[in-house]
Amino acid sequence: MPKSTGIISKLDYIASLGVAAIWLSPIYKSPMADFGYDISDFRDIDPLFGTLDDFKLLVAEAKSRNLGIIMDMVPNHSSDEHEWFVKSEQKIEPYTDYYFWQPAKGFDPNGAPIPPNNWLSVFGGSAWAWSELRQEFYLHQFHAKQPDFNYRNPAIVQELKDILTFWYDLGVYGFRWDAVTHMFEDPALPDEPVSGNPVDPNDYNYLKHIYTQNLPETPYTLSLYKAHTDEYSLNAGDGLHRVMMLEVWNPIEEVMQYYRNVSDFPFNFRFLTTMGAYSNGRDAENAIRGWVDNIPDNGWPNWVLGNHDISRVGSRLQLTDGAILTTLLLPGTSINYYGEELGMVDTYIPPEEVVDPAGYRDPPRTPMQWDDSQFAGFTTGPKPWLRVNDNYLTVNVAAEEAADESVLKIFRKLVALRKEPAIQFGTLHTTVVSYELVLAYAREAVNATDRSYMVVLNWSHDQTHVVNLSPGAFGAFPFEITNPTVEIRTIGSDIPYDNFDPSAFTLKPRAGCVVSFNAVRK
Ligand code: NOJ
C-alpha cells in the first residue's frame, strides 16, 4: 500500500482533533466471519488493510504526529482457521489442549452428538460445535468460527504474552482487550440457570452466565498481562505507559474488579447501558456518579460514548454535540468512536444488506463520512462494505470544516480544553437543576487563579429552562461563579458568547454550553 493511502493518509486529520491515540478494531489476518474478531494469525495484518510493513509505517507516521496506535487484543478466541485450531482438531501437540474441547454428553437416537451442557453463544444458539474430525465438541462463546481458548493450559497464557511482546516491539502503545470476561469457564461444566428474561431459549440472555463469565481466574490472568506490559515499559525505558483497557459490560461491582493491578481501566459503559433518548439530567448525573463514586482509590476514570457494537450516540441519546459536551470535560480518558466528532448517526441497513453475524451491529458501522463525493470519500472501489448514510452530503468532515458552527469544531474545542489545569486536575462537582432536566457539572481548578469550567446541558426535548449562574446560585456547588464566559455552545442554542446575563441563562431544549469562570470558595 503506498504511503498516501488508508489510515496513513488520514493521520493529519486525526492529529488535528487533538487526540492522543487511535484504537484500531482488529486488523490481523482474519477470514472476517466476525469482521476481524476471528483472528487466523495474531502476528500479521490482513491483506484487506495492508501489510506488516504498512503497519510499521503507520506506527512511525502516527508517532511523528504524537499519536499512539492501540491495537485490539482478542484473548478469548481465535478463528477456526488459525493454525493452532487446525492442529488442535487433529490432536497435534502441543496444540491438542489449546482450545476448550469436551466429549459429547451422549448421542441421540439418530446418532447425533449431544452437547456437554446448556451453555449459549452470545450470538445465539448453543455455544458448542461438533468436530467430526476430533469427535468432540469445542466451545465457542461467540461465532462457531471463533473457538474459545483453554486458559487452564499455561501454554496459551504464554502464547498471548509473546504476542503482546511482538506488537510492543513494533511500537504499539497498548491494547483494547476484547470480551475478557469470557476467558474462563467452570471446568465442571454445570448447566447455567435460567435468567427469567422473557426471551427465546436460544437467546444468550435466556441464561444467567454464572459459569462462563467473570470467573475469579479471569482478573488474575489479566493481571499477569498487566505485569508483563509494565515490565516491558520499564525495560524499554522510554517513559511510555503502554495502556491496557478492557471490554467489561458486567454490573458495576463486577466491572470494578478489573481495576487495580488488572488493567489501566475497564471501559465505562454507563452512558451506553443506563441511558436512552429520554434520559434526563438526573440520569446523566447518575451515569457520571455511578462511575466516579464506585471507582477504587487511585483508579483512573474513563468515558465511552459509543463503539462498534451499539447504536451511535447521535441516535441512541438523540444528542450529538450535547453528548460530547457531557463527557469530554470529565476527569480521565475519553474514548470516542469514529464519526462521533461529526455527529454521525445510525444508518438503516435493509435486511438483505445485513453483514453482521449478530445481526444488529451494522447501523453504527457504516463508512466514515469524509466529504460529499461518491461514498462520502470512504472508498474509490465499486462499493463500500456497508452503505453510506444518506446524510453524508452535509454531515462530513469537509462540510464541517467549512461551516461556522459544527459538531467537528465543538469537538476540537473540547479536546483543546482538556489541556487546561482544571480539566486535568480539577475537582469534579455535579448537580441537577430545573426539575431534574438540566445537568451541570464543574471542574473546579485546584489553583484559584486558574479558570474553572462548568458544563450545562438541558436534557428536555421540549422545554426551555432558565438557569442562574450568578454568584451564590447553584447551591450544590461549594463556590461562587465569578467572571463567567461562554467558551462553547451547542449548535443552534443561540447562547450569547458576550454580554450574557449569568443570572438568567436561557437553555433551549437539548441545548448546552461550556462556561469558564473563576471559582470563589464560599
Ligand atoms: C466484542 C467485540 O467488540 C465484538 O465486536 C465482537 O463481536 C465480540 N467481542 C467477539 O470478539
Question: 300-322 pLDDT, tens per residue?
Answer: 999 999 999 999 999 999 999 99
Q: Is residue 435 part of a domain?
A: yes
What three-state secondary structure class fits 517?
strand
Res. 488: pLDDT tops 90: yes
Q: What is the CB neighbour count within 10 angstroms for residue 159?
A: 16
Rounded to the nearest angstrom, the distance between the alpha carbon of 179 and the centre of ligand 1 is 6
Please provide the average confidence, as pLDDT, over all residues in the chain.
Answer: 96
Query: Distances from the Cα of 31 to the Cαs of 72, 85, 309, 361, in angstroms?
Result: 16, 14, 19, 18
The pLDDT of residue 352 is 97
| Span 233-247, average pLDDT | 97
- pLDDT per residue as tens digits for the range 195-226: 999 999 999 999 999 999 999 999 999 999 99
Q: CA geometry: angle at 249 spanning 26 and 20, to 5°?
A: 50
For the cut 80, the answer to whether the pLDDT of residue 126 exceeds it is yes
Pocket test for ligand 1, best of 40, 42, 177, 309 (most atoms within 8 A of CB): 309
Domain limits for position 514: 427-520
Average the pLDDT over 349-378 and give the result: 97
Residue 29: inside a domain: no
Q: Which helix (H) or strand (E) holds 22?
A: strand 21-23
As for how many domains the chain has, the answer is 1
Dump the DSSP string for 55-108.
HHHHHHHHHHTT-EEEEEE--SB--TTSHHHHHHHTT-TTSTTSB-EE--SEE-
The reply to whether 316 falls in a domain is no
Kindly give the number of the ligand 1 atom that is closest to the alpha carbon of 361: 5
Does residue 331 belong to any structural domain of this protein?
no
Statement: residue 348 has pLDDT above 80? yes
Model pLDDT, residue 3:
46
Q: Is residue 506 part of a domain?
A: yes
Cis geometry, peptide bond prior to residue 193 (ω within 30 degrees of 0): no
* Residues whose CB is less than 8 angstroms from the CB of residue 408 and which lie 6 or more positions away in sequence, other chains included: 341, 342, 397, 400, 401
Query: Per the domain annotation, does 481 fall within a domain?
Result: yes
Q: Where are the beta strands (DSSP E) in 348-414?
A: none
Q: Answer whether residue 246 shows pLDDT above 60.
A: yes
| Residue 483 pLDDT exceeds 60 | yes
Tell me how far the alpha carbon of residue 83 lies from the centroid of ligand 1, in angstroms: 21
Give the pLDDT band of residue 131 (cuts 50, 70, 90).
very high
Which is the closest atom of ligand 1 to the Cα of 74? 11
Rounded Cα distance between 461 and 253, Å, is 32
324: which 3 cell numbers? 460530547
Is residue 178 part of the annotated active site? The answer reads yes
Judged against a pLDDT cut of 90, whether residue 8 lies above it is answered with: yes
Please choose, from the candidates 27, 21, 29, 37, the residue with its C-alpha nearest in 3D space to the C-alpha of residue 6.
Answer: 27
Give the residue-averaged pLDDT of 75-100. 98
CB within 8 A of 56, min separation 6: which ones? 170, 171
pLDDT at 218 (0 to 100): 97
Is 247 a residue of the active site? yes
505 or 247: which leads in pLDDT: 247
Query: Residue 500: which pLDDT band, with cuts at 50, 70 and 90?
Result: confident
Q: Is the per-residue pLDDT at 39 higher than 60? A: yes
Question: E-strand spans in 321-436?
Answer: 333-335, 427-433
For the segment 237-243, the average pLDDT, to the nearest whole number, is 95
SS3 content of the chain, % helix, strand, coil (to 5): 25, 20, 55
DSSP string computed for 428-494: EEEEEETTTTEEEEEEE-SSTTSPEEEEEEE--SS--EEE--STT--TTSSEEEEEEEEEEE-TT--
DSSP readout, 255-277? HGGGSTTS-SEE---HHHHS--T
Residue 255 counted as domain residue = no
Q: How many CB atoms lie within 10 A of CB 19?
A: 19
Q: Is the per-residue pLDDT at 421 higher than 80?
A: yes
pLDDT confidence of residue 4: 57
Residue 69 has pLDDT above 80, yes or no: yes
In this structure, what C-alpha cell is assigned to residue 493?
Answer: 442554542
Question: What average pLDDT score do residues 463-484 get?
Answer: 90
Could you tell me which of 292, 345, 343 has the C-alpha nearest to residue 322?
A: 343
CATH label of the domain that carries residue 448: 2.60.40.1180
Average pLDDT over residues 273-277: 97
Which amino acid residue places its CA nearest to atom 9 of ligand 1? 179
Cα–Cα distance for residue pair 287/304, rounded to 1 Å: 11
Q: Which of 211, 225, 143, 202 is nearest to 182 (CA)?
A: 211
CA of 27 to the centre of ligand 1 (A): 13
- State the cell numbers at 246: 478492557
At 472 the pLDDT is 85
Place of cell 503506498: 2
Place of cell 498481562: 225
**Best mutation site among 25, 27, 35, 37 for ligand 1, i.e. most ligand atoms within 8 A of its Cβ?**
37
Distance 271 CA to ligand 1 centre (A): 19
Q: Which residues contact 238 (CB under 8 A, 6 or more apart)?
A: none
Q: Are 343 and 334 in contact (CB under 8 A)?
A: no
**Is the residue at 471 inside a domain?**
yes
Cell of 103: 466429549
Pick the catalytic residue: 46, 72, 247, 264?
247
Predicted local confidence at residue 502, as pLDDT = 87
Write the pLDDT tens digit of every residue in 158-196: 999 999 999 999 999 999 999 999 999 999 999 999 999
Mean pLDDT score, 316-336 = 98
| Residue 443 pLDDT exceeds 70 | yes
Nearest to 14 by CA among 411, 377, 407, 417: 411
